[in-house]
């Protein structure tokens, strides 16, 4: 059997799934609305409905398991409420305590840095807020783990809640200007 692989720029407001639960998700947007994918396609790792950016899809479960392993870096750009401080970034780098499904957890050390410039993403389909609500800033966070809503919980734990979250890299694969909602079929994933 020949497996197929895709890179997608998941837009805000879409679930990282292909089948809708009619009891819970009647009006939710699904990845299947963006492109006609082959049967058996699965998302490798997920981005929640409010998150955007690089998402890998495959029909090969073995690749999915490899990418979800703790050895593959995932880089996120988070727009946070307020002007994030060096002290907050140091805490992120060292690991912070968050609650994952009701259990307290200390995140692994990570790479985090303040971004001096807005990364220039296109406007989101739903506006974040306007300048009347105070300043925002951007931070880059690179993880080798991927707990449920982890980046959002990390930035909130250091006092800077995430307003917008975009995954820009998985291993060596970059979002690299792929337009929002665009799907690109690839022969394989070059992650290292």
Token pair 């890179």 in the structure block, residue? 7
Q: How far apart are CA 17 and CA 144, in angstroms?
A: 22
Q: Give, for 17, the enclosing helix (H) or strand (E).
A: none
Token pair listed for 112? 């985090």
At residue 53, what are phi and psi to the nearest 5 degrees? 110, -160
**Selected catalytic residue, list 21, 48, 60, 81:** 48
Distance CA 137, CA 120 (A): 12
- Nearest to 141, CA basis, from 189, 173, 172, 109: 109
Strands 173-174 and 136-143: unpaired
Question: 131 an active-site residue?
Answer: no
- Written in H, E and C, the secondary structure of 157-188 is HCCCCEEEEEEEEECCEECCCCCCCCEEEECC
- As a whole number of angstroms, the distance between CA 26 and CA 181 comes to 21
CA-based end-to-end distance of the chain: 25
Catalytic residues: 48
């Amino acid at each position: 059997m020949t497996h197929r692989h895709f890179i997608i720029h998941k837009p805000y407001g879409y679930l990282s799934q292909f089948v809708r639960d009619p009891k819970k998700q009647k009006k939710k947007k699904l990845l299947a609305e963006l492109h006609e994918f082959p049967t058996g396609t699965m998302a490798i790792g997920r981005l929640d409905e409010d998150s955007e950016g690089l998402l890998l899809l495959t029909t090969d479960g073995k690749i999915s398991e490899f990418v979800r392993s703790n050895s593959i870096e995932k880089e996120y750009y988070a727009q946070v409420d307020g002007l994030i401080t060096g002290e907050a970034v140091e805490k992120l780098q060292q690991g912070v305590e968050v609650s994952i499904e009701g259990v307290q957890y200390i995140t692994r050390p990570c790479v985090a840095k303040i971004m001096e410039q807005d990364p220039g993403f296109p406007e989101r389909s739903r506006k974040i807020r306007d300048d009347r609500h105070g300043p925002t800033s951007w931070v880059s966070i690179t993880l080798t783990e991927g707990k449920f809503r982890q980046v959002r919980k990390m930035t909130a734990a250091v006092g800077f809640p995430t307003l917008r979250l975009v995954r820009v890299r998985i291993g060596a694969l970059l979002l690299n200007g792929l337009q929002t909602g665009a799907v690109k079929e690839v022969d394989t994933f070059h992650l290292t």
